[in-house]
Amino acid sequence: MSQRDKSAAALSIRTGDSFLSLGQYDAAHACYMTAVTEAAKPGANGNMDYASLGAAMNALGECFFRQERFDEAREWYERAAEAKEIVDPTVDHESHGVSLSQVGACLMETEKYEEAVPWFTRALEAKLQGDIQGRVNPESLSITLHHAGSCLSRMGEYGKAQGYFEGAAQQAGKGDLQGHVDHESVGGSLNQVGFCLSRMKQFEAARGWYERAAAEKEKGDVQGRVDHDSVAISLNQVGYCLAGLGRLEEAVTWFERAAAAAKKGDLQGKVNHGRIATILRLGAQCLTHLKRAPEAAAWERKAAEADQNAGVS
């Protein structure tokens, strides 16, 4: 592949990325196909630039993935991984790992969890070898670890999943290659550790992880934006664990905090009224068991109001 062809492939990918960001999938697809054609041309020495070919194929996979056409996306991600693995002259293992991880993501989206796990394992092995400069990206590792944990969790293997989620939280806490930490991502993995423990009826241990998740999420994402609806999920789970432990007075306090957070909405300010109703009813149940009937009734009324706001009859 000549330098000119290589530049043409890179330009087509960048143009395709611009269309993809605008949701113009057909235009993006055409650009990426052009990039594949350009990248597949042998150079003067008869060799192909497999890195560029892999990048173009990965871009096609992403184009299909965004459209939720997961089978087609998987095919291109697999082809991208195969191209990237060819020494040209050295392998960018991080890039190779990203394609392998996306094959797993496609399988996960189509509920083929058991089949997806080995792909995530291969992706982790590749990513741990670093990029072309030997740098290991903790944020990238955390994504693959979290995906693997999600598959195992959905398979009911909560003990195994817990370890992956713990690893994901640890890596996410280190940030990207520039050290920028997405605390929402860290909190998401911590929350899943709590979920695994709660599914195994280890409520006291789960409670601690949910508390850590809420505290981490309150720090916001890489831009400092706080998703209060996400925070509410973790706060609610703390209350759920405390209720499961029979510590109803404490549980009510956490449910109250969860409802207040949920009312602030997500990153776009959208309020999940259904979630608020669920939280309030859990609090009402605790208050009923505590024989605080008037307060329980007040919480139930607020829950009914939230249902009306959510359009629930």
Q: How many helices (H) and strands (E) does the chain have?
A: 14, 0
pLDDT given at position 313 = 42
pLDDT, tens digit (0-9, with 9 covering 90-100), for 243-268: 999 999 999 999 999 999 999 999 99
Contact 56, 36 (CB under 8 A): yes
Query: What domains lie within the chain, and their CATH numbers?
Result: 227-313 (1.25.40.10)
Q: Which of 48-52, 97-101, 119-123, 303-307 has the lowest mean pLDDT?
A: 48-52
Pairwise CA distance, residues 47 & 257, whole Å: 62
pLDDT band for 42, please (50, 70, 90 cuts): confident
Q: What confidence tier does 2 reach under pLDDT thresholds 50, 70, 90? A: very low
* pLDDT tens per residue, range 75-103: 999 999 999 998 666 889 999 999 999 99
Overall average pLDDT of the 64-73 stretch: 98
Q: Quick one: pLDDT at residue 311?
A: 83
H-type alpha helices, 137-182: 138-154, 158-172
- The pair of structure tokens assigned to 123 is 């992706």
The mean per-residue pLDDT over the stretch 14-40 comes to 96
Task: Tell me the mean pLDDT in the region 213-234.
Answer: 98
Neighbours of 87 (CB within 10 A): 7
The mean pLDDT value for 107-123 works out to 98
Does the global pTM surpass 0.85?
yes
Residue with tokens 């139930």: 300
